[in-house]
Amino acid sequence: MALIDFGGIREQVVTRKEFPMTRARKVLKGETIAVIGYGVQGPAQALNMKDNGFKVIIGQSKKYPKDWDKIVGGLWGVAIYFALPLVAGLDERFGWTGEISVAWHLAGAVALAVGLGLTSWAMIANAYFSTAVRIQSERGHAVCRSGPYRFVRHPGYVGYTLQALGMPFLLRNGSPLGATADGHACKVLEALIDRGEIAVGQPVGWNP
């Protein structure tokens, strides 16, 4: 076993040497592992155990996030990081749109850099920044008023928008703007649903 310091608290931790995967499969054979909660760590831990041959079920309270935020976030990721570069490459290959000036490339680079910086600043300033839309009452969720939240209501969404608008111009072509529009529409939809989900009797400042 290993003695590990967790924020000033020293604990004995069982390592792979004492409890290898073969032993884990033997001990837990026929057992069902319940993952309670499906936040940031839940999906990765549950899928990891499932892929290693364990029977896993998920338990989550009805008051916590629905699946829509994960779906919308996934669509945004596909639009921005898959569809946009794909369309840009096809545009370069087949010449659907003409070349744009260097100034537009630079503007796109600046918008992308500012967007990434703003989103990162929001993540650092807001201890409750999360991709899942929910009030984190178990952690004493409070309104964030520091960092970019002093100037912008939703700096995370603003940062995502700048990234989505800057990337097509950085990639030299105009046609990727269609994919960007789809991706940005996903983020706008997420923000609107996000606002409606917690509008009644809940504190503000919870989300990106």
Q: pLDDT digits over 96-132, tens only?
A: 777 778 888 888 899 999 999 999 999 999 887 876 6
Q: Which residues contact 91 (CB under 8 A, 6 or more apart)?
A: 97, 173, 174, 175, 176
CATH architecture of 68-197: Up-down Bundle (1.20)
Structure tokens at 130: 């999360």
Mean pLDDT (whole number) for 186-203: 46
Q: Which pLDDT score, from 0 to 100, does residue 115 have?
A: 92
What proportion of the chain, given as a percentage, has pLDDT over 90?
9
Q: Examine the pLDDT at 66 and tell me if it is beyond 80.
A: no
- Rank 14-18, 89-93, 139-143, 200-204 by mean pLDDT and report only the highest: 14-18
Q: Which residues contact 52 (CB under 8 A, 6 or more apart)?
A: 21, 25
Question: Between 200 and 114, whose confidence is greater?
Answer: 114
C-beta separation of 141 from 135 below 8 A = yes
Question: Between 161 and 188, whose confidence is greater?
Answer: 161
Q: Which residues contact 121 (CB under 8 A, 6 or more apart)?
A: 147, 148, 155
Q: Parallel, antiparallel, or unpaired for β 32-36 and 55-59? A: parallel
How do residues 19-49 score in pLDDT, each as one tens digit?
898 898 899 988 999 988 766 677 778 888 8
Q: Which pLDDT score, from 0 to 100, does residue 39 have?
A: 65
Domain boundaries, the chain: 2-59, 68-197
Using a CB cutoff of 8 Å and minimum separation of 24, what contacts does 150-157 make?
152/118, 154/191, 154/207, 154/208, 155/118, 155/119, 155/121, 155/122, 155/208, 156/118, 156/119, 156/122, 156/123, 156/129, 156/207, 156/208, 157/187, 157/191, 157/208
